[in-house]
Structure 1
Amino acid sequence: MAPELETAHSRTFVSHLWQVAAAISVSLFALAAFNPSMSDDAKPASAEDKNVLRVCAAAKELPYSADDESGFENKIAKILADSLGRKAEFVWSQKDAIYAVRDQLDKNLCDVIIGTDTNDPRVLTSKPYYRAAYVFIQRKDSPLKIDSFDSPDIVKANPIGFVQGTPAETMITKLDLYNDNINYVSSLTNFKDKRNSYTRVPPDRMVGEVASGKSELAIGFAPEVARYVKANDALKLTVIPDNNVRDDGQRVPFHFDQSFAVRKDEKDLMAAINTALPGIQKKIDAVLKDEGIPFEAPQPPT
Structure 2
Amino acid sequence: MNRLAALLAAFVAVPAVSLQGTVDRAFAQTSDLVSSSEFRVCADPANLPLSHESGSGYENRLAELFAGKLERPVAYTWFPMATGFVRNTLRANRCDVIMGYAQGHELVLNTNHYMTSAYALIVPKDSTLSDVKTLSDAALKGKRLGVVAGSPPASHLARNGLIAKAKPYNLFVDRRVESPAVDMLDDLRAGTIDAAVLWGPIGGPLVKSDFPEFQLTPLLQEENPPRLFFRITMGVRPGEKVWQRKLNSLIRRNRTEINAILLDAGVPLLDDMGTQTLKGD
Instruction: State the TM-score, normalizing by the size of structure 2.
Output: 0.79
Does the Cα contact within 8 Å between 2:90 and 2:97 map onto a contact in 1?
Answer: yes
| 1:115-151 deviation line (CA, Å, top 9, x unaligned) | 1011222211111111010000000111124210221
2:153 to 139, 152, 168: 168
Q: Look up the match of 1:89.
A: 75
Aligned to 1:152: 138
Tell me which moved more, 79-88 or 132-141: 79-88
Partner of residue 165, structure 2: 180
| Shift, 1:176, TM fit | 2.2
Q: What is the match of residue 275 of structure 1?
A: 249
Residues 227 and 170 (structure 1 numbering): CA distance in 2 closer, same or farther, change over 3 Å?
A: same
- CA shift for structure 1 position 283: 1.3
Is 2:218 the partner of 1:239?
Answer: yes
Question: Contact between 1:116 and 1:258, CA under 8 Å: does it hold in 2?
Answer: yes
Are positions 1:125 and 2:110 aligned together? yes
Aligned to 1:32: none
Name the SS of the counterpart of 2:75 in structure 1: strand
Match of 2:101 in 1: 116
Unpaired runs of 5+ in structure 2?
6-32, 275-281
Q: 1:241 to 1:146 in 2, by over 3 A?
A: same
1:99 aligns with 2:84: yes
**Residues 242 and 253 of structure 1 are in contact (CA less than 8 Å); yes or no, is this contact kept in structure 2?**
no
Specify every segment of 5 or more residues in structure 1 that has no aligned partner in the other structure, as ranges.
6-46, 246-250
Change (3 A) 1:288 1:179: same
Q: In structure 1, what is the Cα distance between the partners aligned to 2:62 and 2:236?
A: 15
1:71 counterpart letter in structure 2: G
Code of the residue aligned with 2:185 in structure 1: it is V
Structure 2 distance, partners of 1:68, 1:257, is 27
Aligned-pair CA distance for 1:198: 4.5
Residues 84 and 272, structure 1, Cα contact 8 Å, conserved in 2: no
| Aligned-partner residue type, residue 112 of structure 2 | K
One-letter amino acid of the counterpart of residue 223, structure 1: P
Contact 2:116 2:270 in 1 (8 A): yes
2: distance between equivalents of 1:131 and 1:62? Answer: 19
Matched, 1:75 2:75: no
How many positions carry a matched residue from both structures? 242
DSSP 3-state at the match of 1:297: coil
Greater shift in the superposed pair: 233-242 or 206-215? 206-215
Q: Take 1:229 and 1:219, find their aligned partners in 2: how far apart are those partners?
A: 12
Which residues in structure 2 correspond to 1:42-57 (within 5 Å)? 49-57=35-43
Cα displacement (A) at 1:160: 1.0
Root mean square deviation, CA, Å: 2.4
Distance in 2, Cα, partners of 1:51 & 1:101: 22
